[in-house]
Amino acid sequence: MERAGRIKANPLKFVGKVDERGKKKRVRRAFTDEELRKLIAGSGPRGIIYFTAAATGLRQEELKQLQWGDVRLDAQNPLIVVRAETAKNKREEPVYLMPEIAGALKKYRPAHWSPSDLVFRHGIPRASRLKVDSERVGVAYRDEQGRYADFHALRYTCATFMRKHGIPDNFARKQMRHQTLHQTDGYTDGSQFEIYEAVKGLPPMLGYTQGYAQILGEKGQNGSQAVATIEGIKPAQVLVNEGVWRGLSHSDANGQMERAKGFESWRKNSVSC
């Protein structure tokens, strides 16, 4: 209205965006590789639809309007052209196809087809249908954390699968047709990343090995002290339950004991005061 001259100034110009983090009404998760295989194999004719959604990240409405003319299976680099009129962002963009989904779609394509024919002419399953299909094959529609594996979660599956298997971030962003990497991050299910497997292979941060000495006291109590070893330096002394430091010289040990006695005397006098 400001650009059209209908108002002098935009009253909403300085209104900030609402922070929706932690306030989503429905939190989704990605299907694991095994869950997706079960869902596709156990869903009959709907399996190819679920597979296409997970492999391309196409949304439900985009799949509903997908035509065989949009699916370039015979191109040197097989792809789907998402037309501007069917895309959420109203921009025509390519989505490249993995050989596995390209082969599956080629097998699914009828012998006689025209470019304007719908790929999934019998329609796209509703969320209630996917819930039934999932639960039939033992995949939780809603997990113990309250996260849903609904139809839109297949788009999460696409983003997560690419990034889990090493696709560069910007390639994944382009394939998901996101404007920013932040959007792609929002579709990535980090719980599927084997972070510990990567972390445990890191080299020592401080350059030395740290171990622990476990000593059993007279009354069955355990005392432990970290023992650090560096090349050329002997292990440090270990504190045991009785309060005696091993590994010290006789004079050092006596000094430690005298300081301990002095502290005990000070503590008693302080309490009596």
Same domain, 145 and 165: yes
* Whole-number pLDDT of residue 259: 57
DSSP state of 1: -
Q: Which parts of the chain sit beneath pLDDT 70?
A: 18-24, 208-273
Q: Looking at the domain assignment, is residue 221 inside a domain?
A: yes
Instruction: Please check whether residues 143 and 264 belong to one and the same domain.
Output: no
Residue 25 belongs to some domain of the structure: no
Q: What is the pLDDT of residue 218?
A: 52
Instruction: Spell out the residues 6+ positions from residue 210 whose beta carbon is closer than 8 angstroms to its own.
Output: 226, 227, 228
Domain presence at residue 69: yes
Question: Domains in the chain: how many in total?
Answer: 3
Same domain for 59 and 173, yes or no, is yes
pLDDT at residue 148, as a whole number: 96
Same structural domain, 212 and 127: no
Is 87 part of a structural domain of the chain? yes
CA atoms within 13 A on the CB side of 162: 26
Q: What does pTM read for this prediction?
A: 0.68
251 lies in the same domain as 137:
no
**CA–CA dist 99, 73 (Å, integer):** 10
| Model pLDDT, residue 224 | 47
In a domain, 18, yes or no: no
Q: Which domain holds residue 259?
A: 243-273
pLDDT value for 238: 41
**Statement to judge: residues 92 and 172 lie in one domain:** yes
141 and 216 share a domain? no
- Is residue 95 domain-shared with residue 121, that is, in the same domain? yes
The pLDDT score that the predictor gives to residue 227 is 43
Q: 232 and 256: one domain? A: no
Whether residue 171 is found in the same domain as residue 270: no
